[in-house]
Chain A
Amino acid sequence: MIRHSIVKIAASLAFALAATAAYAHAQLEKATPAVGGAVTSPGEIRLKFSEGVEPRFSGIALATEGGAAVPLGAPSVDPADNSVLIAKVAETLAPGVYTVTWHAVSVDTHKTQGSFDFTVKP
């Protein structure tokens, strides 16, 4: 009896979850340049999140190894995929290590943040 009740509850829950559009914390899935990667000077920073993000409340910053800010364009989302946040790199980057710092507000207002390094090869 109780076992049947548990099965019914689990089945109902599974149905409810399956029928509901889910949003979540926007976690960084992939980045270009890659997290920890080595590249030639990139034209843009492209961050692929696990969820759609709201560009007005999200941001990307770029800094040299010494902490100097590198100018970036205003962040925007890929018109074809609102889980991709993009910022244009305004200048050619000299060889060295750079730090990307990001914060994201997903479309359901959850906030996440993070940072990673990449290297520009000579």
Chain B
Amino acid sequence: MTTLSLRAIAAALVGASVVLWLSPAFAHAVCGDRIFPATLAIDDPGVGDELALPTLTYPPSNSGGSQEFDATFSYTKTIFPGFGLSVQDGPTWQRPGGYGWEPLNIEAKYNFLCIPEFEFMASVGTTVIWENTGTGTQTQPFNVYQPVIDAGKGFGDLPKSLNILRPIAVTAELSETAPGQAWTNGNQNSTNLNWGFTVQYSLPFYNSHVAEVDNDFFKHVIAITEFAFSKPISNFAPGTNVTTGTIQPGAIYMADTWQFALEAILPINSASGRGVGVVGELHFFFDDLFPDSLGKPISMWGQP
């Protein structure tokens, strides 16, 4: 091999290294100065490589008095920047009722908007809950389709005279749950409208933009309350088109590569359940943990 060809190979390797090094990593929900955490009842507006394992839910007992416990996981893989596929599943225990594995839930989601100076971002997606993929009590003989839009707004762009309000952020979600089968075993499968929002107060934002938080624990905490509602809008049995929902106050501890969230679940009315439930989730950000492998998009399509 000649000296010239060795130099050419070396130059090519250096060039490739520079290109790879300069390829930006793609983050979870970051827009401008704002980092939106992963939330539990309302999806955040970002798309990133992440794993929620586990999400443990002990909801309020339902209006019939039965109690449920869910243990689910969710994994999202970015296909190209801003676009990802996620899969969610897990077992459910009901008493009385028994055990079952939830139907497979797959979502395609695209983060189409981020306006950094306004800390505003939005995404659209579609979820399919697949027929005949559940077991036991969770058997479902039809697909369910759920188009969804998510948005988030941080208030870091407020004037400095309102400094104390700048760590606030809100996120919101609107979706429709449409069953692929109108009737099952003589029962109507209603189409539901779902909506909700979160209100967050970010101490990490406060620490880096307003005033120093002199406590290593609290400077990672985001106080949050989530509000999630649903109402049948078509093909519902008479007298069942009641709005149900939960209010979920809690807190999120956000570390560099993971977060832990814990929230109470308060039903808004008797149709939404009785008593107080609780939900907790451990969440890993693969874009931070594995930036050069699992944590980056499969394709850089759409990037300059």
The residues of A with any CB-CB pair to B shorter than 8 Å are: 2, 6, 9-10, 13, 17, 20, 22-25, 27-31, 34-37, 50-51, 108-117
Contacts and interface: CB of A to CB of B under 8 A. Distances in A.
Q: Please indicate which of the listed interface residues B54, B208, B289, B291 has the most CB atoms of chain A within 10 Å of its own CB.
A: B208
Q: How large is the interface on B (under 10, 10 to 19, 20 to 34, 35 or more residues)?
A: 35 or more
Given A23-B291, A114-B33, A115-B209, 9 more contacts: A22-B256, A22-B289, A24-B285, A27-B208, A27-B256, A108-B292, A110-B288, A110-B291, A116-B208
B91 A109 contact: no
Contacts, number: 91
A114 B157 CA distance: 11
B11 interface: no
A29 B220 CA distance: 10
Given A24-B256, A25-B256, A110 B27 contact: yes
A29 to B, nearest CB: 7
A111 B25 CA distance: 8
B288 A25 contact: yes
B215 to A, nearest CB: 12
B27 A25 contact: yes
A109 B291 contact: yes
Contacts of A9: 53
Contacts of A35: 207-212
B208 A114 contact: yes
A110 to B, nearest CB: 5
A51 B256 CA distance: 8
Contact of A20 (B54, B160, B285, B289): B289
B53 A10 contact: yes
Nearest to A109: B25
A51 B53 CA distance: 24
Given A10-B54, A28-B207, A108 B25 contact: yes
A110 B49 CA distance: 13
A35 to B, nearest CB: 5
Interface stretch (B16-24, B38-46, B171-179): B16-24
Nearest to B285: A24
Interface in B245-269: 256-257
B54 A6 contact: yes
